[in-house]
Homo-oligomer: A and B are copies of this chain.
Amino acid sequence: MLLLQLRAEVLEANLELVRKGLVLYTFGNVSGVSREQGLIVIKPSGVPYDTMKPEHLVVTDMEGKIVEGDLRPSSDLATHLALYRAFPEIGGVAHSHSEYATAWAQARRPIPCFGTTHADYYHGSVPVTDPMADEEITGDYEMNTGHAIVRTLHKTGAAHVPGILVANHGPFAWGASAMKAAESAAILEYIARIACFTLSINGSSAAIGQALHDKHFLRKHGANSYYGQKKD
């Protein structure tokens, strides 16, 4: 079987969605990529999490052609592929319909940066895509969803975000590995939840100032970061 190690990692990352309460039944999917081999491993479509085994995962090439696997891949495969192609530095993609992130996506509102929890991970708002045109929907819908994400990231100049809201759909998140992508999905849900509660307490809450935003983001990212342990 191909990519035994990556299969195990991707399975574990899919189960992380369950552990963090981000999915119901067969909702959601996580994939991981092997850049060297030009292959990705992704959750099969419509298979329950609690009986999922490494051999159920599907291996495809970077164009989505199945290389190994008896089951159909997640129907969102083409969206994952578009993200892998556009962002060479990411190693994993996670998609869920987690409750609060999906609510913001349905409300078609970018999540303002109301505090440092948000600023620790996103340099700016959590962006939301524009609604897709009808021809994008009736065409190659899942690939066009990926294009809509990439377009929005370019338009907003959102270079440093580990996730996005697809309008009227839900969140996609990513990271250096499949597990990091699942963690990004959990953190995005957390940010979405506290932002919803923030508006509920004060409907005219304002985004934080730039100095605080920069401070927290740069505490965790980049050359002068000092959160966590040193990586030698």
Which residues of A does B touch, CB under 8 Å?
20, 24-27, 44-47, 71-72, 75, 97, 99-100, 102-109, 114-117, 131-132, 134, 137-138, 141, 168-170, 183, 186-187, 190, 193-202, 205, 208-209, 211-212, 215, 219, 226-230
- Give min CB distance, A129 to chain B, whole Å: 12
6 interchain residue pairs of minimum CB distance: A46-B228, A103-B197, A107-B202, A106-B114, A107-B201, A106-B115
Contact B194 A99 (CB under 8 A): yes
- Give min CB distance, A39 to chain B, whole Å: 21
Q: Among B27, B116, B219, B228, which residue has its beta carbon within 8 angstroms of that of A170?
A: B116
Given A72-B230, A115-B169, A227-B75, A205:B107 Cβ within 8 A: yes
Q: Within 8 Å CB of A26, what residues of B?
A: 228
Query: How far is it, in angstroms, between the C-alpha of A199 and the C-alpha of B213 when the chains are bound?
Result: 28
Given A197-B99, A228-B72, A209:B106 Cβ within 8 A: no
Q: Within 8 Å CB of A215, what residues of B?
A: 137-138, 141
Q: Within 8 Å CB of A194, what residues of B?
A: 97, 99, 102-103, 106
Query: How far is it, in angstroms, between the C-alpha of A195 and the C-alpha of B200 when the chains are bound?
Result: 11
Query: How far is it, in angstroms, between the C-alpha of A230 and the C-alpha of B73 when the chains are bound?
Result: 11
